[in-house]
Structure 1
Amino acid sequence: MYLIFTRLFCALFSLSVLNAAKILGIFPAPSISHQIIFQPIWKELSLRGHQVTVITPNPLNDSMLTNLTEIDVSFSYELMANHDVIKNLYVSTSIFGKLWTLHEIGLVVNSYQLECDNVRYLFDNKDINFDLVIVQALYTCNEIMLGFGSKFKSPVIAISSLGVFLHAHDAVGNPTHPVISPDIMLNFSGELSFLDRVKSFLFNFWYRFLYYYYALPKADKIARKYFGEDMPYLGDIEKNISLMMLNVNPIIHTVRPNVPNVIEINQMHIRDKKPLPKDLKDYLDASPRGVVYFSLGSNVKSANLSSNIRQEIIGALGELPYNVLWKWESDYLPDRPKNVMTRKWLPQQDILGHPNVKVFVTQGGLQSIEEAITNEVPMVGMPFITDQPSNIKKIEDLGMGLSVDYKTLKKEQLKKAIMEVAENTKYKENVQKSKAILVDQPMKGVEKAVWWIEYVIRHKGAKHLRSPAADMSFFEYFMVDVVLFLGGCVVLALYLVIKIASLTKNVTKSTKKVKKH
């Protein structure tokens, strides 16, 4: 209650300077690991007195938030399940296959969400307006939702729960050097080999061709069905983004140069510890030798693993001298070892905060890694999709844990990795060093995000922060025309030199013949 009253007081104070704004938040991705990044933002905006409307598959349903209206699109989870999206992402071996999956299912999910009655009411009712639109920026999936910015003629802020693809950087003129800042789908980490540099260079061209000549025109065609034919081209709306917020941190992500309207935020979902349920607390307290916490996150569910992988994991966990707490999403775990407790859902942050947890076996999601670092728990990574492989590679490089490959996993490998991380103190020491860097910031992630959101509201956009690069064509930005002009000048100069030399030679020969005669 004290926290609520404090925030209400802050809201009243802030509103003396900033009038309450009407904000539309569009966070359509059916993934709780993404939604938990955005939930604190729309909650805080509501507490500060703004009238907030949110489209989300994971509504808070908090009666205390009287300024918040949530449009529930949780049916999107069923759409994802019906299309086997997660399975297709980690089964597909090609980047093209992964991008195709993300884009096509994104169009399907967004289309169904826009057909929802409560969503249609927003763009069909002429009396509704908003001062700001916040759109989740997620790879190549949510471009259609940018149409709301055009519909309400309001500034647009894009916010991502991790990094973004090349086209999002292009929209704000952010540098995308293929070696210094390779795209997140390439999963490169550390120093790139020559072959990696070639791949990244070619990917920068291939991706842009795919996006600008296929994905974006297709999304634009679908968007016009909902927002009308008078809507500007979706690519032009995309380039009108006032601000882009990226949930990245200096531990996992490569440092990159950003233009002024790209804001880095992190630790958005980190909260104060809550008391554990009695059964979990008793289990952890009664494990003096230590506990291994095993969770593959909300997208890659342990219960969906193949029987071969499951048996290797069970074999490894059963031979550990520690108790194991495993997030297992079904009622029954075949051949469950005696030292393993399973639960369909577990309060991960609170568990990681228990002093008896020695190792966290994780899929390598960004949010899970931030929670592990914050609670000083070393990791064993088992990556599957999107940014997870590069995240775990960085964990290894920094000495905060080890990795195993689920495709070739044997119980001896997993057991050896867990034992090494649990028994060798260097891994925990390195996590502690990373925590000291991660948490040493002038303000919390949510505070930073809300400050910049209100900055855009105050100034009715942020065009003054916009980089000139955002309005340049590919040829202008990379000075292709200048290079071609200078190259042409060099060729012309060489041609003239050769011609003059040839003429001089001929004149000299003629002169010698005249003298001889």
Structure 2
Amino acid sequence: MMKNFITILLFSTTAFLTNGAKILGIFPLPGRSHYILGSSLLRELAERGHDVTMISCFSEKEPPKNGTYRDVVVSGLLEAIQEKQKDKTMNMFDIETSDPFTTTVFMGFMMPQLMEMILKDKNVQKLINSNEKFDVVIVEQFLNDAQKALSTHFGAALITFYPIGANFWINPLVGNPSPLSYVPDMMLDYTAPMTFFQRLLNTLLYVFNELFYNLYMFPQQNKMLKKHLPNGPDLYDVLYNTSIVLLNSHSSINQAVPHVPNMIEIGGFHVKPPKKLPNDLQEFLDNSKNGVIYFSMGSNLKSVELPIEKRNAILSTFSKLKQNVLWKWEDDSLPGQPPNVKLSKWLPQQDILAHPNIKLFITHGGHLSTTETIYHGVPILAIPIFGDQKLNAITAVNNGYGLVVPYSQLSEEKLTNTIHEILNNNKYRENAKLRSRIFHDRLMSPMDTAIYWVEYVIRHKGAPHLRVAGLDLPWYQYHLLDVIAFIVLIGSCFLFTFYYFMKIICKKLFFKNRRKLKKQ
């Protein structure tokens, strides 16, 4: 009751201060999961009376009823990705064994090419040359720093949206501390406390990233900016100019780490109360007397692309379960489909996880899937492939609400034993429910928090008072290298002086003793 009262009070007292603002959202990635996040935030801003424009690879089939909502759809990028997937030149399962150094370089070379397609797109260029002005520009952070210059171009404050928790990709841009001793890189499946060799690799990866981004990535982004915004600012004038960062994270999901004042956690803001399921799904879930296992590898990974031996191991496992299985399968048929398995090319995941008959979620361990399963308190079995999935999976293990089957070790025996362990040991469900209670125990809902802070930036003209002073320091001052060098220099001088005088004293004593010996 008190929580609702505070929320109503906050929004009623600030609504008149933030009249319908012009807001531009840039969510450029051609991935459905990233679009879901951007769309959830931008739609809600429109519903609350703002004039919203959204640059992305997708469009809204049912635009918001309130406010104003406009899609600027990037043509060609999504189709190019889908074409590569069709001709089998790109299979996401193949990158499971990539090391973090190789992945960094691969993404560093690939993503700028994709992001340049956004800036040169005819619809985006039309908007750029329209002479429009915006109050705030919200940019999803994903190796697309050149696009942040659109905030300056449109005379707007810059808000950065980050699709996961605080890490290397965002921390340096707002001066957020990230101690390497206990905060692992998102590409590593480490959690605190780390061993010595884990901390060593974490440090080496940090140094590698620093060099790669500052010597290659940022210069490339700056060239891209100058090419498509000839009168635009220098990249380094906007790179560290974020008003706030909206982090899609929360301590119920992610490891607790430091946050500077302009980093705002809104993890789970996209999750909505469950809706009524389609009749066939409702009947399937209701009539499964032994419960249902839900299996989905997300929107980017396609189950249909699983190698035959992996698929057969999964099928053989499912066929021997007493539970029914609901499988997101992207084809019309599945050879060898057991009678207890129901297939669908698309499934309303949030609504399915809310059903009380769901006993287990077999997932790739993506951030959105992890968030949604915690929201509903469902234990997971993770088969992570790339990105932050391995980190999310090991976090689930450490927090006791899930187990991991590494993709390289996926077999009928391993999968069967792991499923039975989770289903037969009540601690996994209890820990999932505990995490769910932590998730929901907030002063304001994550969506209300997000809207409040977007409007806060508009009301306070970019909210520069939230910016930490560390952003204005050169790197050697930020890391106190000048102070350390001074202390080492003074200490060395002291030791040298001490050594020099001790040497003189010892010599005098030595000669004095020799004279005494000669006299004797």
Indicate the TM-score class for this superposition, using the shorter chain for normalisation.
Answer: over 0.9
Aligned position for 1:50: 50
Distance of 2:256 and 2:167 partners within structure 1: 16
Q: 1:479 to 1:29 in 2, by over 3 A?
A: same
Which one of the candidate residues 89, 92, 96 is aligned to 1:87? Answer: 92
Q: 1:219 aligns with which of 208, 218, 221?
A: 221
Distance 2:20 2:79 in 1: 36
| Map of 2:489 onto structure 1 | 488
Verify the 8 A CA contact 2:180 2:202 in the aligned structure 1.
Answer: yes
Whole-angstrom distance in 2 between the partners of 1:221 and 1:31: 25
Letter in 2 for 1:253: N
Per-residue deviation, 1:419? 2.0
Match of 1:115 in 2: 120
Q: Match of 1:461, SS?
A: coil
How far apart are residue 152 of structure 1 and its match?
A: 2.0
Shift in Å, 1:433: 1.1
Query: Which residues in structure 2 correspond to 1:345-384 (within 5 Å)?
Result: 345-384=346-385
After superposition, the C-alpha distances for 1:80-112 in whole angstroms (9 at most, x for unaligned) are 343866627734522122112322222122111
Question: In the aligned structure 2, how far is the partner of 1:137 from the partner of 1:449?
Answer: 16
**2: CA distance, partners of 1:426 / 1:504:** 72
Matches within 5 A, 1:239-388: 239-388=240-389
What is the match of residue 445 of structure 2?
444
Q: SS of the counterpart of 1:69? A: strand
Q: State the identity %.
A: 34
Instruction: Determine helix, strand or coil for the equivalent of 1:333.
Output: coil
The residue that corresponds to 1:7 in the other structure is none
AA of the residue aligned to 2:323: Y
3-state DSSP class of the match of 1:157? strand
Consecutive unaligned residues in structure 2, runs of 5 or more: 1-9
Aligned AA (1:103):
G
Q: Give the secondary structure class of the aligned counterpart of 2:187.
A: helix
Per-residue deviation, 1:465: 0.9
CA gap of 1:334–1:499, structure 2 versus 1, over 3 A, is same
Q: How does 1:49-198 map to 2 (within 5 A)?
A: 49-63=49-63, 64-73=65-74, 75-81=76-82, 82=84, 87=92, 90-125=95-130, 127-138=131-142, 141-198=143-200
Distance 2:413 2:182 in 1: 37
- Residues 245 and 265 in structure 1, CA contact (< 8 A), matched pair in contact too: yes
User: Shift in Å at residue 251 of structure 1?
Assistant: 2.3
- Is the contact made by 1:45 and 1:450 (CA closer than 8 Å) also made in structure 2? yes
Partner deviation per Cα, 1:201-231 (whole Å, 9 max, x = no partner): 2222111011011111011111111111x43
Quick check: 1:326–1:341 contact (8 Å CA) kept in 2? Answer: yes
Residue 14 of structure 1 deviates from its aligned partner by: 5.5
Equivalent residue for 1:4? none
The 8 Å contact of residues 164 and 184 in structure 1, kept in 2 or not, is answered as no
Partners in 2 of 1:250 and 1:12 — Cα distance?
28
For 1:58 and 1:415, locate their aligned partners in 2 and report how far apart those are by CA, in whole Å: 39
- Name the counterpart of 2:455: 454
Unaligned runs of 5+ in 1: 1-9
- 1:421-436 aligned at under 5 Å gives the runs 421-436=422-437
Once the two structures are TM-superposed, the CA of residue 501 in structure 1 deviates from its matched residue by 2.0
After superposition, the Cα gap between the structure-2 partners of 1:241 and 1:67, relative to the gap in structure 1 and judged at 3 Å, is same
Q: For 1:12 and 1:448, how far apart are their aligned partners in 2? A: 14
Whether the 8 Å contact between 1:167 and 1:208 is mirrored in structure 2 is: no
Q: CA deviation at 1:58?
A: 2.8
Give the drift of 1:59.
2.4
Q: 1:79–1:109: 8 Å Cα contact kept in structure 2?
A: no
Change (3 A) 1:506 1:285: closer
> Which range is displaced more, 100-109 or 192-201?
100-109
Q: Are the equivalent residues in 2 in contact too, given 1:359–1:378 (CA < 8 A)?
A: yes
Specify the code of the residue in structure 2 equivalent to 1:435: S
Alpha-carbon separation, structure 2, partners of 1:501 and 1:15: 75
Q: More displaced, 75-84 or 311-320? A: 75-84
Normalising by structure 2, what TM-score? 0.92
Moved more, 17-26 or 215-224: 17-26
Of residues 72-81 and 389-398 in structure 1, the stretch that sits farther from structure 2 once superposed is 72-81
2:395 pairs with 1:394: yes
Aligned equivalents of 2:399 and 2:11: distance in 1? 41
Q: Determine the C-alpha separation between the residues in 1 that align with 2:43 and 2:440.
A: 22
Indicate how the Cα distance of structure 1 residues 366 and 502 shifts in structure 2: closer, same or farther if over 3 A, else same: same
CA drift at 1:512? 6.2
- Structure 1's 513 and 370: CA in aligned 2 closer, same or farther, altered over 3 A? closer
Mapped partners of 1:168, 1:161: distance in 2: 11
- How far 1:462 sits from its partner (Å)? 1.7
**C-alpha separation in 2, matches of 1:239 and 1:164:** 16
Deviation string, structure 1 residues 324-366 (Cα, Å, up to 9, x no partner): 1100011121111121111100111111122222111111112
Contact 1:129 1:152 in 2 (8 A): yes
Give me the whole-angstrom Cα distance separating, in 1, the residues matched to 2:11 and 2:509: 90
Matched letter for residue 353 of structure 1: A
Instruction: Show CA shifts across 1:348-385 (max 9, x none).
Output: 11111222221111111121122222222221111111
Superposition RMSD in Å:
2.2
Residues 161-210 of structure 1, C-alpha deviations (whole Å, 9 max, x = no match)? 11354242111110011122222122312321110011112222111011
- Per-residue Cα deviation, 1:466-513 (whole angstroms, up to 9, x for no partner): 111112222111111111111111111111122222223344455667
Tell me the residue number matched to 2:6: none
Separation in structure 2 between the aligned mates of residue 143 and residue 352 of structure 1, nearest angstrom: 35
**2:15 and 2:262 mapped to 1: Cα distance?**
24
The Cα of 1:153 is off from its aligned counterpart by: 3.1
Whether 1:502 and 2:503 are equivalent positions in the alignment is: yes
Distance 1:314 1:166, change over 3 A: same
Q: Give, as a single letter, the amino acid of the residue that structure 2 aligns with 1:135.
A: V
Whole-angstrom distance in 2 between the partners of 1:13 and 1:355: 39
Distance 1:210 1:88 in 2: 26
The alignment partner of 1:334 has SS state of: coil
In 2, Cα distance between equivalents of 1:86 and 1:175: 36
The offset of 1:155, in angstroms, is 1.3
Letter in 1 for 2:253: I
* Letter of the structure 2 residue corresponding to residue 408 of structure 1: Q
Secondary structure of the 1:351 match is: helix
Q: For 1:276-312, what per-residue CA distance to the aligned partner results, in whole angstroms no more than 9, with x for missing partners?
A: 1111112222211111111011111111111111111
Provide the residue aligned with 2:5 in structure 1: none
Q: Secondary structure at the match of 2:153?
A: helix
Question: How many residues are aligned here?
Answer: 505
Query: Contact 1:56 / 1:74 at 8 angstroms: preserved in 2?
Result: no
Distance 1:177 1:43, change over 3 A: same
Q: Distance in 2 between matches of 1:58 and 1:71?
A: 9
Query: Residues 326 and 513 of structure 1: is their aligned pair in 2 closer, same or farther, counting only changes over 3 Å?
Result: closer
Asked if the contact 2:74/2:123 (under 8 Å) is kept, the reply is: no
Amino acid at match of 2:480: M
Paired with 2:99 and 2:80, the residues of 1 have a C-alpha distance of 23
